[in-house]
Amino acid sequence: MTDDSASASAVLELLDKQAIYENMMFYIRGQDRKDLELVKSTFWPDATEDHGAFVGSAHDFCDLVHERSRTTRYTAVHNCGNVLIEMLGDQAKRETVFTYVRVETERTIVLSGRYRDLCEKRRGQWKVLRRLVIFEWVQTLPPNGDYWEIFGYPSTASRGTIYPDDPIYHDWNVLSRIRGTTTDETERPNP
């Protein structure tokens, strides 16, 4: 292998790793914003999900979580830490450490774990084929007051909410042009 072909291979591997990383970030955005189609778009149709209490089709899991989130009032955010990707040709192992914070009226839940994913590249696109969620710890905390009042934010401050009303979905037409997608007034990247 020449130096040029080795360099080209290394660049292609980095591009694949970036696509695999972004797949996780779109999943997290979709979960936190309750954007069902975005979450589903990160899995292949034949993907499976083992989330402890649920083992089965990843798309069925997405539907279940989305339906529950529509009937329960809470705000949630996932924070991802270490993301380790091991390339295996058109498949890749991805381990992602996460912390999940869910603020409800009567409590706050803080949970940490890892997503162990087998990702697969089909037709030039990386998506999850198999997912196992490994739970590390969970803690429940009492409510501590209204965040907006505690920090004195005005009612006009940009506040996170669910799809399609969250500020992340508006005025991102530049991203659409870069990614080669077209949208009307609402931005919805297609990973």
Residue 171 pLDDT class (50, 70, 90 cuts): low
Q: How far apart are CA 37 and CA 66, in angstroms?
A: 10
Chain-centroid distance, C-alpha 120 = 17
183 burial class (0-12, 13-18, 19+ CB within 10 angstroms)? middle
Which residues, at least 6 apart from 186, have a Cβ–Cβ distance to it below 8 Å?
164, 169, 170
Give me the domains of the chain, ranges plus CATH numbers: 3-149 (3.10.450.50)
Q: Tens of pLDDT along 21-60?
A: 999 999 999 999 999 999 999 999 999 999 999 999 999 9
What pLDDT, on a 0 to 100 scale, did the predictor assign at position 183?
47
Q: Tens of pLDDT along 50-79?
A: 999 999 999 999 999 999 887 777 888 999
* Residue 187: pLDDT over 60: no
Neighbours of 36 (CB within 10 A): 19
Q: Residue ranges of the alpha helices (H) in 105-189?
A: 147-151, 173-179
